[in-house]
Amino acid sequence: MSEKEKVLEAFKNAGKPLRPGDIAKAIGIESKEVSKIIKELREEGLVYSPKRCYYDLK
């Protein structure tokens, strides 16, 4: 499973908006890396930000 898939899985399991730091702790990778992945997912239209610093699946 790629890191991108792990991030998507973390969103699915949480069922609520998450911060990059929360995801990083849950899947065991650095917060900076999670932020990069979230940026890619936003560009792909899979993730949005319902409020500042929080992200969720569309």
3: helix, strand or coil = helix
CATH number assigned to the domain comprising residue 51: 1.10.10.10
Average pLDDT by stretches of 10, the chain with 58 residues? 94 95 95 96 96 95
- Altogether, the residues listed in the chain come to a count of 58
pLDDT computed for residue 7 by the predictor: 96
How deeply is 42 buried, as exposed, middle or buried, from its count of CB atoms within 10 A (0-12, 13-18, 19+)? Answer: middle
pTM passes above 0.95 = no
> Range of 34's domain?
3-57
- Tokens representing 55? 């992200």
Total structural domains within the chain: 1
